[in-house]
Amino acid sequence: MKRIPDALLMAMAAVLLGLIAGALLMLAIGSNPFEGYYYLFRGGLMNMQRVGNTIALSTTLILTGLSVAFAFRTGLFNIGAAGQMLIGGLCATTVGLLVPLPRPILLVVMVLAAMLGGALWGSVPGLLKAKFNVHEVVATIMMNWIAYWVVYYFVPAYLKGQFLETESRVLPAASSLRTPWLTDLFNGAYLNMGLFIAIAMIIIIRFLLNRTTFGYELKAVGSNRDAALFAGIQVNRSIILSMVIAGGLAGLAGASFYTGYSANIQIGVLPIQGFDGIAVALLGANNPLGVLGAALFFGLLHAGKGFMNAMTGIPPEISDTIIATIIYFTATSLLIGRALDYVVRRKKKGGK
Amino acid sequence: MWDILIQIFPYAVAYTIPLLITALGGLFSERSGVVNIGLEGLMVIGYFCTAITIMQLQPELGSSAVPIGLLMGFIGGAVFSLLHAFASINLNANQVISGTAINMMAGAITVYLARTITGSGNILIRSGLTRRTIPVLSEIPVIGRLFFTQTYATTWLVLAILLISWFFLYRTAFGLRLRACGEHPAAAAAAGVNVYFMRYIGVMVSGAFAGLGGGTIMVTYSGEFSGSVAGLGFLALASLIFGQWKPFGVLGATFFFGFAITIANVSQVIPEFAVIPPVILRIFPYVVTLLALVIFSKSSQAPKAVGEPYYPGQG
C-alpha cells in the first residue's frame, strides 16, 4: 500500500476537526448539521454558475495562500497579505479607472500595477527585517492598517462613485478581468482571467522553489538562517526578495478580487482573503499544489454559505468559524500527530 | 490650544483606556513568555459578552446590568484565551498562528451568535456608563478640570488595575517568577517555578484584560456591538512594544495613541488640525510603531524567551 504523506494526513485531520466544530456550532443553535453541510456544499457546486463562483473565490485564495506559503518557506510569517492585497487592488482599480489605454494593454498594466503595489507593501517589512531585525509579524500588521487607512482616504478623494462615498466607481467592462467567453461558459459567474494568473503563479512558484538556486537559497534561509549565512548565502537579500515576491503575489490577489470578482473597491474593510491565505498556506503545507487544493476547499466554504443561509437560516459566519478552527488545529498539529501515533500503535498491537 | 485640549481630553482618555487595559494584558502574557497576537480577538469576545449580558439583563436590572456585563466580558476573555494557552503551552504550537486563529475565530463566532440571538449581527444596548464629575477633586485648578471632570468609572478601575499590576509584577515573588518564565524558563523551573502554571496565568490575565477592554468600548463610546474592534487590539500590541514591555511605558504609549486617534477623529471640525491631511493622522500610530521598532532594535527590552515553547528538562 502506498503511504499517504504525513502533511496530507494532518491536513485531512485538521479539516475533519474543523467540520466537527462547525457541526457542533450548528447543533448549538438548534440546526441540523447534515442539512447545513448539504446546503453549504450544494450552494457551491449545484450548477455551472455556482461552480464558477467557487473557482472565482478560490482564485483569490490561491494567490494569497501562495503569498503566505512563499514567505513561510523563507521562515517569514506574512500576516500582511491582506494589506498587500488591498494596495494591489487599489493600484489596479486606479489604473483601470483613470488610465485610457486599449483593453489588452490596459489589463496588463493593471495587473503589473497590482503586483508592484503589493511588492512595495511587502518590501517594507522585508527591509526592516533584514536591516534592523524588526519582527515581520508586527511590521506586516502595521502595514495592514496603513493600507487600510490609505485606501480609506484615497478612494473617496480620487475614485469616488456618483452616489456612495464608501466605494470607488464601478469599473467599465473594458477594464475588468472578466471576459465574455468565460462568463458565458459559466452562466454569468464571477470567474475571471485572474484564474489564469493564479495557475501560472502556482507553476512559477513551484518551479522557483524546487528547480532554481534562488529557491534553494530561500528555503535554506528558512530552514536555518545561521547555516545559510555560513554557507555563503546572502541572507538579507533573500529575506527582502522573499517578502517582495510574497507581496507581489498578494497584490495579484488584489487585482483578481477587486477588478475581476468584484468591480470596485470598498473602504473600511481589510480583505478576509488575506487572512484566509494563512489558513490556505498552512493547510497546503506551504506547497504550491497543496495551496491549490486548500484554496479550492475554502473557496467552496465561502461560495456555499449564502445558499446555506437562505435554505436553513444558519448564519454565513459558520464558514469563517470553520476556517479559523482549521487554522487552530493546524497550529496544534502536535496534538493531531500524537493522536495519529496513538492510533497507529493501537493498530500494531491489535495486529500482533 | 488649551481650549482644544480641554475639549478633546475626555475623548482621548476614552480611547486610551481600552487600549491600556488590553496592552497591559498583553504585557502579562508576553512577560510570562507567550506571544499573544490574539488580543484583537479577545477584545471582540469581551465586547460581545458585555453587550449580550447587558442587553439581556438591562430590562430587569437597569443600570446595575453594566458592571455585570463588564465582569462577563472579563470572564469571557479569560475563558476564550484558554484556547491560546492550551495550544501554545501544552502543545508547543506556533504562537503567532494560534493567535491568528483566535482573532479569526472571535470575529466569526461572535457575529454568528449575535445573528442567532438578535437576528442581525449587531447588539444594541439602551445605555452604558454615564460620565461623572468627581466632587472636590474637580475643583483643583487646571488638573481638576482636565482629569476629574467628565470621567467614566472604568477609567479609574483600569488605572487602579495598572497600579496593582505594577506592584504585582515588580514587588511580589509571584511577579518575579512570572517574569522569570519569560526571560529564562529553564532557570525558573530549576528554581522550583511551575513554568506551565505561570504561563497559563499570564495568558489568562491577557484574555481577561483584553475582554475588559472590549467591554469598556461597549459601555463607554460605542454602545453597539458590531463584531469588530477595528484594529485596536493590534494597536494595543504596538503599544506594548512602544512601551517596551513596562507598565508605565505602556501607559505612555497608549495615551499617545489614544490622543492620536482622537485628533484624527476630530481633525475635520477643529481648524488647527484640519490643515493636516487626515490620512497622515490615521497612519501616524502605525508609522511611529515601525520607527520605534527600528530605534529599539539594538536595545529591545523584549522578554528573552517570548514566543519560545518550554520543554520540561531543557537547559
Domain that holds residue B96: 2-131+139-296
Query: Does the residue A88 lie in any domain?
Result: yes
Query: Does the residue A159 lie in any domain?
Result: yes
A167: left (phi over 0), alpha (psi -120 to 50) or beta: beta
Domain that holds residue A299: 6-347
The dihedral sign for the CA sequence A232, A237, A243, A249: negative
Query: Does the residue B305 lie in any domain?
Result: no
Min Cα–Cα distance to chain B from A130, Å: 11
What residues of chain A lie within 8 A of the CB of B107, using their CB? 320
Question: What phi, psi does A100 have (nearest 5°)?
Answer: -85, 110
How buried is residue A195: exposed, middle or buried, by Cβ count under 10 Å (0-12/13-18/19+)?
buried
Q: Which residue in chain A has the smallest CA separation from B302?
A: A135
Angle (CA) A26 A30 A36, round 5° = 40
A327 → closest Cβ in B37, B104, B234:
B104
- B101/A116 Cα distance (integer angstroms): 29
**pLDDT for the residue numbered A188:** 79
What band does B298 get if pLDDT is binned at 50, 70 and 90? confident
**What is the enclosing helix (H) or strand (E) of B123?**
strand B123-124
**pLDDT for the residue numbered A3:** 59
**pLDDT for the residue numbered B313:** 67
How buried is residue B52: exposed, middle or buried, by Cβ count under 10 Å (0-12/13-18/19+)?
buried
Checking if the pLDDT of B15 tops 50, the result is: yes
**pLDDT for the residue numbered A1:** 45
Min Cα–Cα distance to chain B from A324, Å: 5
Question: Considering chain B, what is the average pLDDT of its residues?
Answer: 89
Mean pLDDT on B176-199: 93
Virtual CA dihedral for B245, B251, B254, B256, nearest 10 degrees? -120
Residue A186 near residue A273, CB atoms below 8 Å: no
Residue range A176-217, pLDDT digits in tens: 998 888 888 888 788 999 999 999 999 999 999 999 999 999
ipTM of the complex: 0.89
Query: Does the residue A20 lie in any domain?
Result: yes
What residues of chain B lie within 8 A of the CB of A333, using their CB? 93
* Residue keyed to cell 498491537: A349
Checking if the pLDDT of B229 tops 50, the result is: yes
What residues of chain B lie within 8 A of the CB of A143, using their CB? 286
Q: Indicate the number of domains in chain A.
A: 1
Asked if B278 has any chain A CB less than 8 Å from its own CB, the reply is yes
Per-window interface: B 110-129 vs A, CB < 8 A: 111-113, 115-116, 121
Query: Does the residue A352 lie in any domain?
Result: no
Q: What is the DSSP letter of B124?
A: E
- The one-digit pLDDT tens for each residue of chain A (352 residues) are 455 677 788 888 899 999 999 999 999 999 999 999 999 999 999 999 999 999 999 999 999 999 999 999 999 999 999 999 999 999 999 999 999 999 999 999 999 999 999 999 999 999 999 999 898 998 999 999 999 999 999 999 999 877 788 889 999 988 899 888 888 888 878 899 999 999 999 999 999 999 999 999 999 999 888 999 999 999 999 999 999 999 999 999 999 999 999 989 999 899 999 999 999 999 998 999 999 999 999 999 999 999 999 999 999 999 999 999 998 988 887 667 777 777 777 777 665 4
What residues of chain A lie within 8 A of the CB of B83, using their CB? 328
- B124/B214 Cα distance (integer angstroms): 15
How buried is residue B231: exposed, middle or buried, by Cβ count under 10 Å (0-12/13-18/19+)?
buried
Residue range B29-75, pLDDT digits in tens: 999 999 999 999 999 999 999 999 999 998 888 888 899 999 999 99
Residue B25 near residue B209, CB atoms below 8 Å: yes
With CB atoms and an 8 Å threshold, state whether A153 touches B277: yes
Residue range B113-172, pLDDT digits in tens: 999 988 887 888 877 888 888 777 777 777 777 777 778 889 999 999 999 999 999 999
Residue A102 near residue A87, CB atoms below 8 Å: no
Q: Which residues of B110-132 are buried (b: 16+ CB within 10 A; e: fewer)?
A: bbbbbbbeeeebebebeebbeee
- CATH code: domain of residue A122: 1.10.3470
Min Cα–Cα distance to chain A from B96, Å: 8
pLDDT exceeding 90 applies to what percent of chain B?
54
Q: Smallest Cα–Cα separation from B78: which of B112, B51, B46, B110?
A: B46
Q: How many CB atoms lie within 10 A of CB B294?
A: 15
With CB atoms and an 8 Å threshold, state whether B109 touches A25: yes
Residue A183 near residue A191, CB atoms below 8 Å: yes
Greater pLDDT, B138 or B243: B243
Query: Does the residue A92 lie in any domain?
Result: yes
With CB atoms and an 8 Å threshold, state whether A132 touches B289: no
Q: Smallest Cα–Cα separation from B36: which of B103, B110, B107, B111?
A: B103
Please report, for chain B, how many H helices and E strands are present, in that order: 13, 2
pLDDT exceeding 70 applies to what percent of chain B?
99
Q: Which three cell numbers stand for residue A100?
A: 485610457
Q: Smallest Cα–Cα separation from B107: which of A280, A100, A278, A324?
A: A324
- B267/B275 Cα distance (integer angstroms): 8
Q: Which three cell numbers stand for residue A346?
A: 493501537
Query: Does the residue A204 lie in any domain?
Result: yes
pLDDT exceeding 90 applies to what percent of chain A?
74
The dihedral sign for the CA sequence A339, A343, A344, A349: positive
With CB atoms and an 8 Å threshold, state whether B97 touches A282: yes
- B96/B234 Cα distance (integer angstroms): 13
- CATH code: domain of residue B199: 1.10.3470
Q: Report the amino acid identity of residue A45.
A: L
Query: Does the residue B309 lie in any domain?
Result: no
Query: Does the residue B311 lie in any domain?
Result: no
List CB contacts of B121: < 8 A, sequence separation 6 or more: A315, A317, B111, B114, B115, B226, B227
Asked if B291 has any chain A CB less than 8 Å from its own CB, the reply is no
Q: Which three cell numbers stand for residue A32?
A: 441540523
Q: Indicate the number of domains in chain B.
A: 1
Query: Does the residue B38 lie in any domain?
Result: yes
Q: Which three cell numbers stand for residue B54?
A: 447587558
Residue A282 near residue A33, CB atoms below 8 Å: no
The helix, strand and coil proportions of chain B, stated in percent and rounded to the nearest 5, come to: 75, 0, 25
Q: At what angle do helices B2-31 and B195-217 cross, to 10 degrees?
A: 150
- List, in sequence order, every residue forming a beta bridge with B123; answer none if it has no partner: B225
**What is the enclosing helix (H) or strand (E) of B225?**
strand B224-225
